[in-house]
Structure 1
Amino acid sequence: MTIADNISTIRARIAAAARAAGRDPAGIRLLPVSKTRPASAVLEAASAGCTRFGENRVQEATGKWEELAEDHPEISWAIIGHLQTNKARQVARFASEFQALDSLRLARELDRRLQNEGRGIDVLVEINTSGEPQKSGVALDDAVALCRQLGAFDSLRVRGLMTVALNSGDPSPVGACFQRVVDLQERLRDEAGGVSDWGELSMGMSGDFELAIAHGATTVRVGQAIFGPRSYPASA
């Protein structure tokens, strides 16, 4: 199976999951996650109609952007992994979307860097819905307070929420993570509606995106089901 074949299969599964949930498949965006994959794989996916790609690591994303930007300006990048404030300058240079905002300090620094670049960026607030301490994201109890303050940053176009659900073969706790985001979305519309309409919900990856669609995901982040198993450099 080629990357294009895999994308076609994933799109068909997205459409089927949407119809099963009584939703319009056109309302669900596929974000291919190209981390650890070379620029050539990104171009294969782009030939199948994908134009925005998710990357976890800023340094890797920057390298691919620099390699492809001149000849392929239609390709854009979404940073979906945890971001340290000292990397905000790099993100402000090229990224079109940032899905892992989890602190006021980071919002302030990213906005400052974007102002310097004369750019704006679409932003999602990452929510830690599983409560796992090793995961990034703002805690559910702190999310409303953070989100209320994001309207102060002109360069951050706040679109909605993102989460990485519990990694489990049992759909019940995974679905519970997704439902917590939906519940928070409704609360934010009541309590922070002046910041955003909170319409974007980035939920679901290769192993659980159909369940995420059933709970209302508008973006699904799919990596291995498109590009195949990831290969990481061996430890020294």
Structure 2
Amino acid sequence: MSSIADNIGSVTRRIQKATLQAGREPGSVRLLAVSKTRPAEDLKAAFEAGQIAFGENYLQEALDKMQALSDIEGIEWHFIGPIQSNKTRQIAEAFAWVHSVDRLKIARRLSEQRPETLPPLNICLQVNINNEDSKSGCTLDELDELLEAIGELPNLRLRGLMAIPDPDQPEAELRLSFRKLASTLTKLRQDHPEAGPLDTLSMGMSDDLEMAIAEGATWVRVGTALFGARPAKHSQS
């Protein structure tokens, strides 16, 4: 069985190859290790193999891992799961990035509760790109108004968009979903030059990262290819 370090090397090579084939700058795509349900020991092994950024879906689980790994400097924590209003304070205090902001109420709370001693919180707006009933995210039609309102919030730094396209759709439609998110970001950047860098597309996972990179991903969120198959789902928040 391959080690976590071997897996990180393999995924990193996939990213590098896809970036080159897409004609993009080396290093323009970063790997976000999706570490939900994984023990702190796995994250430590990944960090020792050179992985810096870790994405967590469940707040309490993430806080426990932060405590367990508090002696390690340099880990970059990303929150990528659905956000409940009563969890925003701890998210604002503990994370460097939040990829899953989908409504103004959550953005306001994150900004208000971000400690002044920390830099602005990097956020992405989560888009329900396929209009799935089961998925979180704002609609494409809501983005302009949401972006303008978030621009008024002092402790947030809007970086771009995130989406989780339906992985079961045909490959051609999946590619179109990635392309739609990328073209939406390009249009937002043109229409809202005051909004900030808007330099981030968080899209693509273990099975489709090459396609996502070809369409402009700057973060690919990979779990299974790094850590193996996840255990059965559990109900953490």
Decide: shared fold, TM above 0.5: yes
Q: Which whole-Å deviations, capped at 9, do the CAs of 1:32-70 have from their partners, x for residues lacking one?
A: 11110000000010011111200111111111111112x
Distance 1:136 1:202 in 2: 15
Which position in structure 1 is the counterpart of 2:20? 19
Partners of 1:204 and 1:221 within 8 A in 2: yes
TM-score using structure 2 length: 0.94
Which position in structure 2 is the counterpart of 1:184? 184
| Matching residue's letter, 1:218 | T
Partners of 2:33 and 2:222 within 8 A in 1: yes
More deviation, 76-85/167-176: 167-176
Q: Which whole-Å deviations, capped at 9, do the CAs of 1:63-112 have from their partners, x for residues lacking one?
A: 1111112x112112100111011100111221111000110100111111
Shift of 1:24: 2.2
Shift of 1:116: 6.3
Partners of 2:205 and 2:220 within 8 A in 1: yes
Distance 2:82 2:192 in 1: 24
SS in 2 for 1:134: coil
What are the within-5 Å matches in structure 2 for residues 159-198 of structure 1?
159-168=159-168, 170-198=170-198
Distance 2:88 2:52 in 1: 23
How many residue pairs match? The answer is 234
Partners of 2:57 and 2:82 within 8 A in 1: yes
Which position in structure 2 is the counterpart of 1:4? 5
Q: Which whole-Å deviations, capped at 9, do the CAs of 1:189-216 have from their partners, x for residues lacking one?
A: 1222211221111110111111000101
Unaligned runs of at least 5 residues, structure 1:
none
SS in 1 for 2:32: strand
Partners of 2:93 and 2:115 within 8 A in 1: no
| Matching residue's letter, 2:205 | M
Distance 1:229 1:182 in 2: 29
Which position in structure 2 is the counterpart of 1:28? 29
Shift of 1:179: 1.0
SS in 2 for 1:161: strand
Shift of 1:232: 2.7
Which position in structure 2 is the counterpart of 1:54? 55
Which position in structure 1 is the counterpart of 2:67? 66
SS in 2 for 1:160: strand
Which position in structure 1 is the counterpart of 2:80? 80
Distance 1:233 1:9 in 2: 26
Distance 1:133 1:117 in 2: 39
Query: CA, structure 1 residues 122+175, in 2 after alignment: closer, same or farther (shift >3 Å)?
Result: same
SS in 2 for 1:100: strand
Partners of 1:85 and 1:110 within 8 A in 2: no
Distance 1:72 1:234 in 2: 27
Distance 2:234 2:38 in 1: 15
Partners of 2:97 and 2:122 within 8 A in 1: yes
Query: CA, structure 1 residues 234+17, in 2 after alignment: closer, same or farther (shift >3 Å)?
Result: closer
Q: Which whole-Å deviations, capped at 9, do the CAs of 1:153-174 have from their partners, x for residues lacking one?
A: 1111111111111112621111
| Matching residue's letter, 2:27 | A
Unaligned runs of at least 5 residues, structure 2:
none
Query: Is 1:108 matched with 2:137?
Result: no
Which position in structure 2 is the counterpart of 1:158? 158
Shift of 1:118: 5.1
More deviation, 178-187/98-107: 178-187
Q: What RMSD, in angstroms, separates the aligned Cα atoms of the two structures?
A: 1.5
Distance 2:67 2:119 in 1: 18
| Matching residue's letter, 1:41 | D
Query: CA, structure 1 residues 144+115, in 2 after alignment: closer, same or farther (shift >3 Å)?
Result: same
